[in-house]
Amino acid sequence: MKYLIALLLFFAPTVHAQPAPPCYPLINGTHVSAPRHMNGEVGQHIFWFCSPRGGQAMAYGFSCLHGSCSMAALHSAHSTIIQSTAKVTTANNLWAQSMQFDCDLVKAEDTPRGKLCRERDAMLKVLEAGR
C-alpha cells in the first residue's frame, strides 16, 4: 500500500486533468488495474482507472513537467495520508493543495503546461485503446 501511494504522490506539486478523483488507489473505489506511470518527452504521468462504487471505471491521474517532481512533497503527503483516519478527506485536501492548474483549461496554450497536457491526452488515448 505504501509503495503505490508513494508512487502516486511522487509528482506533487503537479497538474491534474480533472477535479479531485472520486477514488484513490488502495484507499477507496473499485479499480480495474494498478496505477500506471508513463514517462513522456515533456513530463511524467500517472493514470489509474476506477469507479467510486462499482460500475464503469473512469481514468484519473496527474502529471508533472520534468524537473518539477518533488520528493519532499511525496514524503509529506504520504505520511499525512497514512497517519490519517479519514484517508479520502485527507487525500482530497492534499490534491486541492498540490494541483496547480486544470489540463482542460490550459491544453490549448503554447506553454510548457499546455504541451504537458497535450502529451497527457495522447498517452491516455494509448492506454484506453489497450484496455
Say whether the peptide bond before residue 19 is cis (omega within 30 degrees of 0).
no
- Residue 36 C-alpha from the chain's centroid: 10
Distance CA 19, CA 87 (A): 17
Task: State residue 99's pLDDT score.
Answer: 81
**pLDDT on residue 116:** 95
Q: Are the C-beta atoms of 102 and 18 separated by less than 8 Å?
A: yes
Flag whether pLDDT at 55 surpasses 90.
no
The pLDDT-based confidence of 41 (bands split at 50, 70, 90) is very high
In the block, cell 484513490 appears at 24
Give pTM, 2 decimals.
0.81
Question: Could you count the other beta carbons within 10 Å of the beta carbon of residue 54?
Answer: 9
Residue 128 has pLDDT above 50, yes or no: yes
Q: What is the pLDDT of residues 63-112, one digit of tens each?
A: 889 988 776 786 788 789 889 999 999 999 988 888 888 888 889 999 99
Give the separation between CA 100 and CA 16, rounded to whole angstroms.
8
Of 102, 112, 120, 96, nearest in space to 47 by CA: 120
